[in-house]
Amino acid sequence: MADPTCVDDLMKSFSDYDATVDVVSAFEMLFTESDTGLPSTVAHFERFPAIPVDGKMLTPDFTVLFDDESALVGEVARIALHENSVEGLCRQLLRYDALTQIPASTGFAAVEIPDVLLLVPSDVGPEASRRIIDDRMANNDHWYDPHTAPTVMQFHFDTMKYVFQKLQLSLNGHPDDRERIEGLGSWLKIKESINVKPSRFRAIKAGRAFVNDAPDDLYLATLLWTKVVPLQEEHASGMKVISSRSLRDEVRRYFGRINISDIRRAMDVLARAKLAVALRDDTWAVAWFQLRGAHGDHDVARTIAQRWCEPPKGRGKAAQLVAASTLDTEAGTDMTLFSLMDD
Amino acid sequence: MCEWEGTDSPAASQYRVDGRWAAPCDFSTVSLMSSWMMPMSFTPVDAALARAFVDADLGIEESHRLLANLVEEGSQLSVVTCMRSEAGSAVDEFSEMVYMSRSTAWMTVRRDRRGDFPLVVLPTQLRNIVHLVATVPYSDYRWRKIERWLSRSRTPLSEFWIDLDDFLTIGSSLEAHGETRASRTTGRSVLDDSSITRGWRSGKPQFGAAIDEMLSYPASVRSVTVRVDRLLHAQIRRRSGATIYGGSFDLFRSVILDQLANAGQSRLDLLTGRERQLDRPIEKGLAIRLESDTFADPVAASDLAKLLYSDSELGVAVLHSNPYFHAAVTDYTDGSTFDVFVTAPDEVVILPGYRSLPGALSRISDRIGDRFSSSALHETDAETKPTLEDLFGDG
């Protein structure tokens, strides 16, 4: 029997991820398309930054390189209640604070002490500020000691617009516009909140589809089902057959940066939901058909979630089609072999 | 060629067809080259249509003349106007012949346990617009089967939902020929999706007034039955169709059918070539403009989700439902993908994906437009970018 909260938990994570996509899309619009002076100050906005530092790859939610060679690093975070979550976030913010290079239109550009912008949901905004800035940054005994305080802004949805509001706390950071003609810093001195209607960023959201965080597995599985798998040619078996690598390349081509490990996790979701079968050589057979949910609930994401939480009995249509075809499966393939391959 | 075996019985006529005509044409694949001999039974009215069009290669003018004769003899003709997309795959003989037929009318026969009937594919002066014509009444369930086939299979033909302006233009064009009064209107309530029918035996309103009354419910206008003086008795339908019950076929054709065809061409032009291009941002999409601020009520977004879910040919994932609406939608019939947004109270926006075929775009926009009473389908206005004043205000 499935955990009674399983589907709701998956859908909550799905919705949270979608809200993050909204937030990043809103800021991409502000920095690149708004009818303000801001876009003219931007040398490069990166939606999918991957910055190598000491053998690791840092992946903030977005970066902005300004034409005066200053930079801003943006991170959307949902802080959990336990302290480890806050500690982990502070470590992340400290790494961003220490960045010496930021993605440019080609390669990287050298920067000094970028501004760090932390975006948190309003229901945790004040608490986040207190725990990060007051309890840690302002605490001389704590290791979190950035060059400059991060700017913490909270966001919520209010009557058909997103509201991004800088928390008015004495130690909260403030973006440094330097000599630029316009910037977030000057805006937030005039008004404490910036409002963005979804219509302003819907095209960006539809085009980009996700953010730089490891995508929510259900979200990516749903995106693959509704936007990527339909574009694949149908195999003689009636299924869509495609490798993880090809899927990754397709997603990168159509939407943005994604890792092959993300693809595999999403395909594992579809496989557990008996909508896909793993074949040899990291390839998948997807039984792409009219997916209808139980009890009249036909939402694709929710149906996949339901099938993941309580996999249908029997082998499922995908396995039946594979069995009837010339496709080979190799159950139990050691997927760790593939983690050595490039992402 | 066909041989007719007329019978004395008024109930039915029978004919045989050999050689190139393959039947039964039940939209399954049948070899064009196979010969067959199979009797069919038509009603006398259907038989008259079949006799008129049994010879292939009838030109448009000749076809119109034959249809006019049939109307004079008392037949009523129901017409569904279709866009023919260059995309889509020909998966059956009917589709193949649709591709083949460009400038001449041809007939196919639909076998049905309740009665076989002929269906004429009538080309127009517009290359990619055809009329499907039958003497079977439009209310007959056999037309529903044809429409289901049009909407569900990967055929090149699709119906479309006429913009309210185009519908009103037909009415005003009829009024130029004579007093045009509505005897019946049908619509669908925007509030609860129930059907609304209004009929008048006396005091028939003028065309425009009848439309206004239906819109006031508020309801999505679906059809108007009109009499134009003594010249024409016809029904005009938002779902790209019309029926002539009697009167002048020439008037029916020149005002109603030709304007349906023009509306279809405009719609096809709007829907063609919409798919997203690689390495280019999404600039414009399609906007379904509504008659009222329907989506000011949050319940409407839920109704939109339900509408999309109810279509078994669509895969729908609602990414965001309240207070703005965003769904990723895929059409299982042809793999078209879209994003559907509601970010204003009087508009639904469709942003096409990397595959967005005209038929799929037509189906989804028509369903939404029908349910929520659209006034027009058009390209989205270029999204105005927010100024600082906007960002400090309403966004």
- Distance between CA atoms of residues A27 and A247, nearest Å: 28
- Distance between CA atoms of residues B222 and A64, nearest Å: 52
- Distance between CA atoms of residues A224 and B44, nearest Å: 54
- Distance between CA atoms of residues A323 and B40, nearest Å: 43
Q: Which of B26, B123, B119, B142 is nearest to B83 (CA)?
A: B123
Binary contact (A225, B330; C-beta < 8 A): yes
Q: Is the torsion defined by CA of B364, B367, B373, B377 positive or negative?
A: positive
Q: Looking at the DSSP assignment, which residues form a beta bridge with residue B337?
A: B330
- Distance between CA atoms of residues B62 and B309, nearest Å: 45
Segments of chain A scoring below 50 in pLDDT: 331-343
Point out the residue among B343, B353, B392 whose CB comes nearest to the CB of A227. B353
Percent of chain B with pLDDT over 90: 56
Residue A151 contacts residue A117 (beta carbons within 8 Å): yes
pLDDT of residue B247: 97
- Distance between CA atoms of residues A222 and A307, nearest Å: 13
- Distance between CA atoms of residues B218 and B213, nearest Å: 9
The tokens of A208 are what? 């980009």
According to DSSP, the β-strands at B232-237 and B336-344 are: unpaired
Which residues of chain B does A204 touch, with a Cβ-Cβ cutoff of 8 Å? 281-282
- pTM, two decimal places: 0.86
State which residue of chain A sits closest to B330, comparing Cα positions: A226
What phi and psi, each to the nearest 5 degrees, are found at residue B284?
A: -135, 155
State which residue of chain A sits closest to B296, comparing Cα positions: A160
The tokens of B200 are what? 């008048």
Q: Which amino acid, one-letter code, is at A248?
A: R
Binary contact (B387, A205; C-beta < 8 A): no
- Distance between CA atoms of residues B269 and B118, nearest Å: 30
Binary contact (B276, A207; C-beta < 8 A): yes
Point out the residue among B276, B330, B349 whose CB comes nearest to the CB of A226. B330
According to DSSP, the β-strands at A51-53 and B241-247 are: unpaired
Residue A239 contacts residue A286 (beta carbons within 8 Å): yes
Say what the ipTM of the complex is. 0.90
Token pair 């095209």: residue? A203
Which residues of chain B does A191 touch, with a Cβ-Cβ cutoff of 8 Å? 392
In chain A, what is the straight-line distance between the N-terminal and C-terminal CA atoms, in Å?
A: 36
Please, which residues have CB within 8 angstroms of residue A108's CB and are 6 or more apart in sequence?
Answer: A51, A101, A102
CA distance B8 to chain A (A): 51
The tokens of A51 are what? 């910055």
Residue B230 contacts residue B218 (beta carbons within 8 Å): no
Point out the residue among A18, A35, A225 whose CB comes nearest to the CB of B385. A35
Which residues of chain B does A289 touch, with a Cβ-Cβ cutoff of 8 Å? 332
Q: Over its length of 395 residues, how does chain B's per-residue pLDDT go in tens digits?
A: 333 344 333 323 333 343 333 333 332 222 222 233 344 567 878 888 887 887 667 889 999 999 999 999 999 999 999 998 765 554 555 655 565 556 778 877 777 777 778 888 899 999 889 999 999 999 999 899 888 878 765 667 888 999 999 999 999 999 999 999 999 999 999 888 899 999 999 999 999 999 999 999 999 999 999 999 999 999 999 999 999 999 999 999 999 999 999 999 999 999 999 999 988 878 789 999 998 899 998 899 999 999 999 998 899 999 998 779 999 999 998 899 999 999 999 999 999 999 998 889 998 999 999 889 888 999 987 678 999 999 999 88
- Distance between CA atoms of residues B347 and A7, nearest Å: 32
CA angle centred on B83, ends B368 and A234, rounded to 5°: 80
Interface size between A and B, measured as CB pairs under 8 A: 145
Which residues of chain A does B310 touch, with a Cβ-Cβ cutoff of 8 Å? 298
What phi and psi, each to the nearest 5 degrees, are found at residue B366?
A: -65, -40
Q: Which of A38, A47, A159, A160 has the most B C-beta neighbours within 10 Å, making it the best mutation to test the interface with B? A: A160
Which residues of chain A does B384 touch, with a Cβ-Cβ cutoff of 8 Å? 35
State which residue of chain A sits closest to B322, comparing Cα positions: A160
Which residues of chain A does B311 touch, with a Cβ-Cβ cutoff of 8 Å? none
What phi and psi, each to the nearest 5 degrees, are found at residue B122?
A: -110, 115
Token pair 């609860």: residue? B192
Q: Which of A139, A32, A35, A144 is nearest to A88 (CA)?
A: A144
- Distance between CA atoms of residues B109 and B118, nearest Å: 4
As a residue count, chain B comes to 395
Q: Which of B154, B385, B387, B394 has the most A C-beta neighbours within 10 Å, making it the best mutation to test the interface with A? A: B385
DSSP string covering A230-275, please?
A: GGSPBPTTSSEEEEHHHHHHHHHHHT----HHHHHHHHHHHHHTTS
pLDDT of residue B111: 74
What phi and psi, each to the nearest 5 degrees, are found at residue A252?
A: -65, -40
Helix (H) or strand (E) holding A63: strand A62-66
pLDDT of residue B116: 78
Residue A283 contacts residue A243 (beta carbons within 8 Å): yes
Residue A163: how many other CB atoms lie within 10 Å:
17
Which residues of chain B does A288 touch, with a Cβ-Cβ cutoff of 8 Å? 332
Point out the residue among A159, A160, A253 whose CB comes nearest to the CB of B278. A253
Contacts of the segment A319-326: beta carbons below 8 A, 24+ positions apart: A319/A274, A319/A277, A321/A237, A321/A238, A321/A239, A321/A285, A321/A287, A322/A237, A322/A239, A322/A277, A322/A279, A322/A285, A324/A237, A325/A235, A325/A236, A325/A237, A325/A239, A325/A285, A326/A236, A326/A237
DSSP-derived 3-state class of residue B214: helix
Token pair 């909407």: residue? B151
Binary contact (A225, B278; C-beta < 8 A): no
Q: Which amino acid, one-letter code, is at A26?
A: A
According to DSSP, the β-strands at B325-331 and B219-228 are: unpaired
Q: Looking at the DSSP assignment, which residues form a beta bridge with residue A240?
A: A234, A286
Binary contact (B386, A34; C-beta < 8 A): yes
